[in-house]
Structure 1
Amino acid sequence: MSSNCPESDASDTAVAPNNQWSSASSNQWSSVSKHVVNSYVEANNALLAAMGFSPSRSSEPNGEPSESTEEPVTPGRQPETADAPVAEVAFGDETWFMERSTDSCEDLAVGDYVRFTKPIEDTDVSAFAQVSGDTNRLHLVEEFADETQFGGRIAHGTLVAGTISAALARFPGLTVYLSQDLEFQAPVEIGETVTATCEIVELLGDTRYRLHTTVETADGETVIDGEAIVIIETQSDA
């Protein structure tokens, strides 16, 4: 799995003193980064481990089950489930926040959404590098990253994109990933807080849904844009 940007050498163009990269660099970023993530589920497993999740014990051949029994959390308020396991692949943390438009799997409709917010900490980056094997110096070595166009270390793209998976896990019912398209539009600095939003845009039938997926910084800048297709099923009480 590739990282947020192809690894850069010390000869890469250094950022301007204000750390603002040029429009050309931005366009190049978008062009290089736009791709369909064929192994996104595998990357999610690495992300879940890095973020403290336990991967699901059972796996669908074409997707990743994610069960959620978590209560809605309003941004700015500590989750009621902080530090307590609530399902196979989900638990709360005092720095994480969740908002969703419905608590009923049966009532899902176009426009329903889940938002998940968390800071991308240095510990997340280190853990993700360890479990994924992506030890690109751009993410880990300050002296190297300082000489690139980014002017410092940035988070792995798939680490940041994994917050989309975290949001999907918080839809009511059992969510199974079928596909995910991603476009990385801007880097995320280590320490930034991001919000992933997954909104249903089309009902495909047979409990399948098409969703618009985005990740934004606290300033409202979209850093990842994409589309997912998932199955969302009612979870039995058995």
Structure 2
Amino acid sequence: MSEDTGATIPFADLTSAWMQLGESAVKSATAMNRAAIGVAGDNGDAHDDNEARPGTDGATVRSGSIPSLAFEGKDWQFERSVERADAITVGDSVSFSKSIDDEDIERFALASGDTNRLHIDEAFAEDSRFGGRIAHGTLVSGLISAALARLPGLTIYLSQDLEFRGPVRIDDRVTATVEVIEALGNDQYRLSTIVSDEEGETIIDGEAVVLIDDLPAE
């Protein structure tokens, strides 16, 4: 059955773009989904503009500032409290920030198959409890994985528990913060995982368990 939703998505263009982005995400996520304003290095300083290069999907990206990252986007930013995997201890943390824009949402809808009209059809979403479109919860929680990817070493997800507390709207800037709360032995750690908005309100709360391997030899 055909239905006019009032929203038009350039399917071919987005499919091509998301295939490119999917390849990028795998590469930039030997830890899963790596996904920094300037772009930030270990100390949060921005790279020089002449380091910028066009990404395969048309976005401006820069080379990764740490060995576990393949590349970084121009509006991404991160900070971390520890520089060596063998020095990670309880209390160490990483934060990662980016804006969630319309293109992120459209690409995620195509990649995941979650084309819920709440996320991609403004007219439809206006009559929902949110009064407009919101980002996919799983897309927003992916920033946790991006923060984990910026821990020293090669981070591998083992488990993740999440509680969704509020929506993220188009062009909201959000920050994922992960903090080591327990060393489990055998290079495994339990971390608190929080995503917050620009006002510092918690949007997503949870815990993760990760394994941190040595980086592969170059």
TM-score normalised per structure 2: 0.76
Give the ranges of 4+ consecutive aligned residues of structure 1 lying more than 6 Å apart after TM superposition. none
2:188 maps to what in 1?
A: 208
Q: Which amino acid aligns with 1:84?
A: R
> Deviation string for 1:134-178 (max 9, x for gaps)?
000000000000000100000000000000000011111000000
How far apart are the structure 2 equivalents of 1:123 and 1:67? 17
Q: Which amino acid aligns with 2:74?
A: E
1:128 maps to what in 2?
A: 108
Aligned pair partner of 2:26 in 55, 75, 95: 55
SS at match of 1:55: helix
Q: 1:67 deviation in Å?
A: 8.8
Q: 1:223 deviation in Å?
A: 0.3
Whether the aligned pair in 2 keeps the contact of 1:178 and 1:229 (CA below 8 Å) is: yes
Q: 1:99 deviation in Å?
A: 0.2
How far apart are the structure 2 equivalents of 1:58 and 1:153? 28
Unmatched segments (≥5 aa) in structure 2:
1-17, 53-60
* CA distance 1:48–1:198, change in 2 (3 Å): farther
Q: Which amino acid aligns with 1:109?
A: T
2:46 maps to what in 1?
A: 78
Whether the aligned pair in 2 keeps the contact of 1:207 and 1:231 (CA below 8 Å) is: yes
Whether the aligned pair in 1 keeps the contact of 2:81 and 2:94 (CA below 8 Å) is: yes
Provide the identity percentage.
Answer: 46
Aligned pair partner of 1:199 in 154, 172, 179: 179
* CA distance 1:235–1:89, change in 2 (3 Å): closer
Whether the aligned pair in 2 keeps the contact of 1:66 and 1:174 (CA below 8 Å) is: no
How far apart are the structure 1 equivalents of 2:19 and 2:149? 11
1:150 maps to what in 2?
A: 130
- In the comparison of the two structures, how many residue pairs are matched? 185
Q: 1:88 deviation in Å?
A: 7.0
* CA distance 1:113–1:194, change in 2 (3 Å): same
How far apart are the structure 2 equivalents of 1:57 and 1:98? 15
* CA distance 1:49–1:72, change in 2 (3 Å): farther
Whether the aligned pair in 2 keeps the contact of 1:114 and 1:168 (CA below 8 Å) is: yes
Aligned pair partner of 1:169 in 149, 165, 169: 149
TM-score normalised per structure 1: 0.70
> Deviation string for 1:82-127 (max 9, x for gaps)?
5234367642122100000011111000000100000001000000
| Structure 1 residue 105 corresponds to structure 2 residue 73 | no
Whether the aligned pair in 2 keeps the contact of 1:200 and 1:209 (CA below 8 Å) is: yes
* CA distance 1:189–1:49, change in 2 (3 Å): farther
> Deviation string for 1:60-92 (max 9, x for gaps)?
xxxx56799x94152xx5346752343676421
* CA distance 1:116–1:48, change in 2 (3 Å): farther
SS at match of 1:175: strand
Query: C-alpha root-mean-square deviation of aligned residues, in Å?
Result: 2.9
* CA distance 1:236–1:137, change in 2 (3 Å): closer
Q: 1:207 deviation in Å?
A: 0.1
* CA distance 1:164–1:97, change in 2 (3 Å): same
